Amino acid sequence: MSLGPPIAVGISGINEIVDIYVVNMDISADFIKKNLNEILPNGLNIEECHYLKDNEKSPPEIKKARYIIKRFSNTIGDVPESWSIIGRTKDMIEIEVCIEKFRHRVLFDVFGTTCLIERKLIF
C-alpha cells in the first residue's frame, strides 16, 4: 500500500489517493471498493477504485491543491503571492497552491489554528 502526498494533522483531505497492490486481479474493482467501504471507519470511504492501465502512473501527477479554509476569527496574516485566491467570503477563503515544497504549517501561520481546513488535490 502507498499513499499520495502527505497531509498535516488538522487538515482533512477530500480526495486523497491510496494505491493497494492486489495479488489476484480477477477480483473486480467494484468488489474491492464495496468490501473496503464496509470495514472503513465512519467518515472514511472509497469513492473510486480501478486497476491501473498499462503505463498508467500512480499516483497521477499532482502539481496543485485547493484548500478551503473556514475561519472562526477575522485575523489573517499575509497571504503569500504564490497562492491564488479562488474565492472569499466573510467566513471562508479558498486558495490554490503548487504543492511542490509547500508546507502546511504556513496555512496555520496565515490563518491561525482555530479554523477548519480541507484539501482537494488537483490532478
DSSP string of 2-19, one letter each residue:
EE-S---TTEEESS--EE
Alpha carbon distances (Å) from 119 to 5, 14, 39: 11, 6, 24
Consecutive H or E run containing 68? strand 64-71
Cα–Cα distance measured from residue 91 to residue 74, given in angstroms and rounded to the nearest whole number = 8
pLDDT at 90: 84
Residue by residue, pLDDT tens for the chain (123 residues) are 888 888 999 999 988 888 888 888 899 999 999 999 999 999 889 999 988 888 877 767 888 999 999 987 776 778 899 999 999 888 899 999 999 889 999 999 888 888 999 999 998
pLDDT at 117: 95
CB atoms within 10 A of CB 4: 17
Cα–Cα distance measured from residue 99 to residue 63, given in angstroms and rounded to the nearest whole number = 6
pLDDT at 3: 82
